[in-house]
Structure 1
Amino acid sequence: MTSANSASDTTGGDLRIPRHVAIIMDGNGRWAQSRGRPRAFGHSRGVEAVRATVQAAGDMGITQLTVFSFSTENWNRPAEEVGALFDLMGRYVRADLASLDKKGVRIRILGRRDGLNDDLLRIIEDAETRTQDNTAFQLNIAFNYGGRDEIVRATRTLGEKIRCGQLDPEVIDEDVFSQALDTHDLDDVDLLIRTSGEMRISNFLLWQAAYAEMIFMDVLWPDFDGDHLRKALEEFSSRNRRYGGLDAGAA
């Protein structure tokens, strides 16, 4: 994981291209309800937006994309909707795995594995194993994920190593802690996008987004496409990322 004060974006023509983009895909339910359809229909259409965004991100030179698919708090939703989200996750990975693998995409699923059914676990493990050596693009799906939960799990992991005498607590710094997170081999988030007009990060990548530029867009997720991603990159390119420092030449 890159440190917070490292330069982690590259130039792509008239745009500065962030290495790691994270997206809170919000608005599926409202999109469906505005059309008189059940919320599950919105989630299904949201999968098409994922496909379009993965393609656009790769075309634009982004190398790491993390999408928030199902949070630890989403268990509070109706059981029918939770079941539909689980089914969609499995169907998306199963249907797109061969194509993504052929394109050199590495797939990672971030979050807790307990609570997932055996069929979904097999799909996840197959996708991660099959694509683990791919290097063209990194697609991370945060599923059954919560930022606070991830930090707690990382703390327990380090605590167990200390208890067993495998780790000296004095050597724990940000880099050591980062290695205990689900995202241990990823760069920090450069750009975090949330759709639907809501302006909060909802317990998503709390550690990794410490210095992320945040862009909140009014579009509902099923309508999000490459044009919206480019607009977000244009806004990102206009930002001055100082990482707590001053502009060059500032007094």
Structure 2
Amino acid sequence: MAVAQMYPRDQRKAMDRILNACARPTLAEKAQYAFARGGQEITGPSIRLAETIAQGWGHLQYGMRELSNVGGASEVEAYCWDLESNVRKSIQFTVSHVRNTKKGSYALTDSRDIYENVANNGARRVRACILAIVPGDVVEAAEQACEQTLRAKVDISPERIAKLLEAFAAFGVDKEAIEKKIQRRMDSILPAQVVSLGRIYNSLRDGMSKPHEWFDVATEAPKVPEDVANLNDLAKAAAEKRAKA
């Protein structure tokens, strides 16, 4: 803290570092997420962009730490501390050692699985802490710079579209569902739509939203195997026969 106060940040240089980082297409693609609220698409800075802003702004300590791990749950604190101004933001939360899937929930016992679960939940809180410390106009400028980078260098080549489809397939979203949302075939997709889909993917990847909030994802009931169906019919017929006897 003493060093940070002796050598305060040069805000112009810090801003230049942030904007230069936002000129990189690889960062710009991951810089924003989107989520649906009231039928509208709301966007915001992603975890990756928040970390980049914190690094460029300087004199910040941020992260998370586990306070306790008992009873199948972890008590965790996310924080961001401006060493120059001595302003600190922290969020405490509880993460159950449970993984939720479409087939139900199950307890996590492997230490690596527990660590990843805590880290995934904590990353969003760390992002919130960073954004609470860094001035809002700095964050807005970074978002605008990333937007300009994307629109100038967005890739709509067949290879890029194939990678996009592959990425969404991991969340159970197929080509048909995407085309239904954008109201056109993938081979005629517009650059702005690629940017929008990129934000949605970032949101899904970071756990900010679910596929069904964006796409008409069919949830078909599992088909009963033919042999099981036959066994059920036989059992039903036997029960009816006993009832008549």
Assess same fold via TM > 0.5: no
TM-score, with structure 2 as normaliser:
0.25
Rg bigger for which structure? 2
Instruction: Decide which structure has greater helix share.
Output: 2
TM-score, with structure 1 as normaliser:
0.25
